[in-house]
Amino acid sequence: SKKVRIFATLNEGTETRRDEVKAQLLDLIAGTPSNMPTSKSVTNQILDVVRQMEQTCPTPDEDVVEKLGGNWELLWTAQ
C-alpha cells in the first residue's frame, strides 16, 4: 500500500542518515590521537555528532530505558 511505501522510504532515509552520522563519528575518532586529551573544539564536534546519532535511534526512549536500565560498570581504557 501507499502508506507502507512511504514508511519504507522514510525508514531508508533514516538509515542512510544514521550511516552518514556513524561515518562522521568514526572519522572524528580516528583523527584523535591515543593517550592525548582532545581539544575543546574536537570534544564539542564529537558530542554534536553523538547527539545527531541519538536523533536517528530507531528505538523509542521508553524502550531503551526499560532494556538498558540497571546498574552499569564503566570500564575505561586509554588504548
**Chain segment 16-68, per-residue pLDDT in tens:** 888 899 899 888 888 887 777 888 898 889 889 988 988 887 777 777 777 77
Q: Is the confidence at residue 3, as pLDDT, over 50?
A: no
Confidence grade of residue 8 (pLDDT, cut at 50, 70, 90):
very low
Residue 23's pLDDT is: 92
Amino acid sitting at position 18: R
pTM of the predicted model over 0.75: no
**Phi-psi map region of 28: left, alpha, beta (phi>0 left; psi -120 to 50 alpha):** alpha
Residue 7's pLDDT is: 42
* C-alpha grid cell, residue 69: 536500565
What is the C-alpha to C-alpha distance for residues 43 and 33, in angstroms, rounded to an integer?
13
